[in-house]
Structures are given as structure tokens and as C-alpha cells.
Amino acid sequence: MTGAEPKKAVVLLSGGLDSTTCLAMAKAGGFRPVALAVAYGQRHAVELDRARVVAATMGVEDFRLVRMDLRAIGGSALTADIPVPKDRSESAMGHGIPETYVPARNTVLLALALGLAETVGAVDLFIGVNAVDYSGYPDCRPEFIRAFESLANLATKAGVEGARFTVHAPLSGMTKAEIIREGTRLGVDYSLTHSCYDPDPQGRACGRCDSCALRKRGFEQAGVKDPTVYAEGAT
């Protein structure tokens, strides 16, 4: 007698360290992931290629890519002609909302994931927000996740008909080092992932943006070798 079919879950997959770990945790939790990557006009579009490779390597059978262009809105160093902050201290990264904040991005991404979830019959959504991002990005906070979960159950046909959506943020409360240790335990190949906000034309990490700095420090603190390929001259 075979067991029940694993429940589907929509996992937002950027191809970065956090979302890849989140995917691994969803799989370890017994879910059958539908991976959703979004091309929103980000300057670090190389992450989308990594997302596709990550999904294939991790055995994801259903990978979706949605294209939209948030450059029409702008307002971020990732979608407009605004310099990406470099060489910032840890204290500077912990204060204020950085130029790399994309207005309403996680709201938009989760809305797309919610629409896909309704389509494929899933009630579980996964997003890789974590504690390191809370101070800078308002749409990474637990309060936002719970508020969106309430919206999902109010504003969908499935919710009105009795389905209860859950937005999982399994990295919430974890440091970057803890995320890396957990991903390593689950067999994640971090050499496939991309985190840099301002890669060179070959897709190599700059080593100087906030995301690179947090990633490098995370590997150091986790005691795990950093497999990232950095651009020439990157520190």
C-alpha cells in the first residue's frame, strides 16, 4: 500500500542562497515543490539562470518563470539607474532601508505565488526571508508574512470556499550562518547559487555589495567553505 501523494507547495526561487535553502527545507518537510522564479527587470538577472539550474538539480518537476518589468516603476538600485551600495559596514547595513529595496517586491512576488498556488491546487507558499534582512527590508518581517497570509485567505476563490493558505518562512529567525549550516546538512550545493546585486558581465559576484558581504560572513561564521566565484579584484 503506497502512502499519500505529497502535498504541493509553491516555493519562490530566486536562485540565491536563502531561497535555495528554503526549497531544500520544503522538500525535507515532505512537500512537492512547484518552483516560481520571477524576472522583474533586476540587474542581477543571472540569478534566474541559477534558479533554473537549482530547480533541476534538486529534482523539481514543475518550474515556472514569470516575466514582468518593475523597471517601469523603478525606485531601487536593482531596477533603476541607481548605484548599488558597496563596502558598507555592518552597522550601516543595520540602519535604514537600503537603495536595493525594491518597492513592494515581496508583496508582488507572493501575489504571483498565490495565484499559481490556486491554479495548481496548493495551499502552502514558501518564501526565503530571514532575520538578517528585517532591519533593512520591511517586507521581510514576520508581521508582513502573517498579514499576507490573512490576505490570501480573504482574497481568493479557494479561501472563500474554505481552503486555508499558509505562508511558510522557515528561515525567519535564522542567521545567515545558521541558514548555511542547515542547507549544508540538507545537501544544498551553494556553488550553484547567486546572491550578488551587482555581478560583472560574466556573472561573477562583486564581493562588495551588502548581499555579498552578508553571504561571505555567513560562510565564515558557519565554518563552511565559500564556493562563490568572485570578480577579479573583489575583496
Does the pLDDT of residue 55 top 50, yes or no? yes
- Beta carbons of 18 and 130 less than 8 angstroms apart: yes
Q: Which residue has the cell 551553494?
A: 190
Establish if 226 belongs to a structural domain: no
Query: pLDDT tens digit string along 203-232?
Result: 999 999 999 999 999 999 999 999 999 997
- Asked, for residue 227, whether it belongs to a domain, the answer is no
pLDDT band at 2 (very low <50, low <70, confident <90, very high): low
- Of 62-71, 80-89, 94-103, the range with the highest mean pLDDT is 62-71
pLDDT at residue number 46? 93
Which residues, other chains included, contact 179 with Cβ-Cβ below 8 Å and sequence gap of 6+? 17, 18, 21, 130, 171, 218
Its domain, for residue 101, covers 8-188
DSSP string of 176-220? Answer: HHHHHHHHHHTT--GGG----SS--TT--B-S-BHHHHHHHHHHH
Which pLDDT score is estimated for 10?
A: 98
Number of domains in the chain: 1
Q: What is the pLDDT of residue 90?
A: 79
- Give the pLDDT score at 235: 60
- Structure confidence by residue, pLDDT tens digits, 92-114: 887 788 899 999 999 999 999 99
User: For the residues 84-89, what does the mean pLDDT come to?
Assistant: 92
Report in angstroms the alpha-carbon separations of 106 from 80, 114, 144, 194. Answer: 17, 12, 9, 18
pLDDT for the residue 133: 56
The pLDDT, as a whole number, for residue 160 is: 94
Residue 232's pLDDT is what?
A: 78
**Per-residue model confidence (pLDDT) at position 92:** 83
Asked whether residue 206 is domain-assigned, the answer is no
Judge whether 22 lies within some domain. Answer: yes
Q: If you average pLDDT over residues 84-99, what whole number do you get? A: 86
Q: Is residue 158 part of a domain?
A: yes
Question: Is residue 230 included in any domain, yes or no?
Answer: no
Q: What is the CATH number of the domain that holds 66?
A: 3.40.50.620
60 belongs to a structural domain: yes
Q: Is residue 65 part of a domain?
A: yes
Integer angstrom CA distances of residue 65 from 11, 18, 50:
12, 18, 12
Question: Which pLDDT score is estimated for 195?
Answer: 95
Query: What confidence score (pLDDT) does residue 1 get?
Result: 39
> Which of the residue ranges 86-90, 114-118, 179-183 would you say has the lowest mean pLDDT?
86-90
